[in-house]
Amino acid sequence: MEKKMGFFEKLKKSLSKAGNGMLGAIFAGGERVNNEFYEELEEAMIVADMGMDTAERLIDALRDSLDEKGIKTRTEARQELRRIVADEMRADSEFAADKGPAVLLIVGVNGVGKTTSIGKLAAYYISKGRQPMMAAADTFRAAAAEQLTVWAERSGVQIVKHGEGADPAAVVFDAAASFKARKRDILLCDTAGRLHNKKNLMSELEKIRRVLDRELPGVPVEALLVLDATTGQNAIIQARAFGESTGLTGVIITKLDGTAKGGMAVAIKNELGLPVRFIGVGEGIDDLRPFDADAFAEALI
């Protein structure tokens, strides 16, 4: 429990680095809720990368709720907004890997931290007494498999890899066989970073997904999009494109230890219904943790 608190403290600290809480200054800026307040709030939400549409929608929701409850002070408004965002961010379904064996297919554009996240996920599942293994299906980037191997050794999990330039679907095929034979319960699939507007690379992902579904029938696949917290409005387009080719079920937000707020996660949940499953707040092997909507809302607002 103590450690958990420490972690959320860390998240809060990092989310509020740019000032006294992302929106802290606004809530402290005066007593009454007035038009100026809403304007400042909208501005702050845009600066947090929530995007115009989401910011407007949240503010409408806040306005309605404040009117309804007769709330007039900014302090109370803050609590209300936290509640709204937390409700918004709560996942509507259970995470498959929490229930039993599952495949976590990790996808995303280049440089968001897919390989690192897999390294940390392996450590996380080991700590939970699970039996994870890795598939190094990024056969494109130079030394990607080596990078993942270092992580595999750190947490002592098995890794399936082929040489650079190999067919990633073949890596996944072998990994699936090994997963069955060794009776593991979490298969972590790394994939090469790819821009979502490259059709060929996206069909490669479709193929990987097909192999998983075919070779591991009955094992649910959680396809998770890794998003760098610094990403702007392009994140939504990414989520849409990756969703089409892999049937995304959730999101991992990395690098929340910088000054970026990760506000696009709110937009993605709102527009596409994709919940955040994990967040990364540091370089340490245990700095990737399950997402907590209340803690996130509190840290953000």
Partner 1 sequence: MAFEGLSSKLQNVFKKLGGKGKLSEKEVREAMREVKLALLEADVNFAVVKNFVNKVTERAVGSEVLESLTPAQQVIKIVNEELTALMGGTGSKIEFGSKSPSVILLAGLQGAGKTTMAGKLAGYLSKQYGKSPMLVACDIYRPAAIDQLKVVGSKVGVPVFERGQADPVETAKLGVEEARRQLKDLVIIDTAGRLHIDEGMMDEIAAIRDAVQPAEILLTIDAMTGQDAVNVAKAFNEKLELTGVIVTKLDGDTRGGAALSVKAVTGKPIKFSGTGEKLTDIEPFHPDRMASRILGMGDMLTLIEKAQSAFDEKKAVELEAKLRNDEFTLEDFLDQFEQMKNMGSMQDIMGMIPGMDASKLGNIEIDEKQVARTQAIIKSMTPKERRKPDILNASRRRRIARGSGTTIQEVNRLINQFEATRKMMRQFTGKGKKGGKKGKRRFPFGF
Nearer to partner 1, 80 or 204 (CB): 204
> Of residues 112, 118, 135, 216, which one binds partner 1 by CB under 8 A?
112
- Which residue stretch of 77-85, 94-102, 106-114, 179-187 sits at the interface with partner 1 (rule: CB under 8 A)? 106-114
Chain-centre distance for alpha carbon 212: 21
- Which residue stretch of 81-89, 105-113, 126-134, 209-217 sits at the interface with partner 1 (rule: CB under 8 A)? 105-113
257 binds partner 1 (CB under 8 A): yes
Nearer to partner 1, 147 or 191 (CB): 147
> Of residues 59, 109, 136, 223, which one binds partner 1 by CB under 8 A?
109
Q: Which of residues 153-172 bind partner 1 (CB under 8 A)?
A: 164
What tokens does 111 get?
């440089």
Nearer to partner 1, 98 or 283 (CB): 283
- Least Cα distance to 208 among 110, 123, 140 occurs for 140
List Cβ neighbours of 89 (8 Å cut-off, separation of 6 or more): 265, 266, 269, 275, 276, 291, 293, 296, 297
Nearer to partner 1, 119 or 275 (CB): 119
- Which residue stretch of 91-99, 208-216, 234-242, 285-293 sits at the interface with partner 1 (rule: CB under 8 A)? 234-242
**From CA 199, how far away is CA 33, in angstroms rounded?**
48
Distances (CA, A) of 186 to 5, 75, 127, 182, 274: 27, 44, 13, 11, 21
CB atoms within 10 A of CB 192: 19
> Of residues 29, 100, 111, 290, which one binds partner 1 by CB under 8 A?
111
- From the CB of 75, what's the least distance to partner 1, in Å? 25
Q: Are 253 and 279 in contact (CB under 8 A)?
A: yes
- From the CB of 264, what's the least distance to partner 1, in Å? 7
- From the CB of 172, what's the least distance to partner 1, in Å? 20
- From the CB of 207, what's the least distance to partner 1, in Å? 13
**From CA 179, how far away is CA 135, in angstroms rounded?**
10
What is the CA angle 29-33-37, rounded to 5?
A: 55
146 binds partner 1 (CB under 8 A): yes
Count Cβ neighbours within 10 Å for each residue of 40-75 and write b for 16 or more, e otherwise.
bbbebbbebbbbeebbebbbebbeeebeeeebeebe
- Which residue stretch of 1-9, 72-80, 86-94, 194-202 sits at the interface with partner 1 (rule: CB under 8 A)? 194-202
- Name the residue with tokens 């064996």: 101
Number of residues near partner 1 (by CB under 8 A): 52
206 binds partner 1 (CB under 8 A): no
Per the DSSP assignment, residues forming a β-bridge with 102 are 186
260 binds partner 1 (CB under 8 A): yes
Distances (CA, A) of 190 to 7, 105, 141, 149, 245: 26, 7, 12, 11, 16
Q: Which of residues 113-142 bind partner 1 (CB under 8 A)?
A: 113, 116, 119, 140-142
What DSSP element (H or E) covers 277? strand 276-280
Binding site for partner 1 (CB under 8 A): 17-18, 43, 46-49, 51-53, 109-113, 116, 119, 140-144, 146-147, 149-151, 164, 195-200, 228-235, 237, 241, 255, 257-261, 264, 283
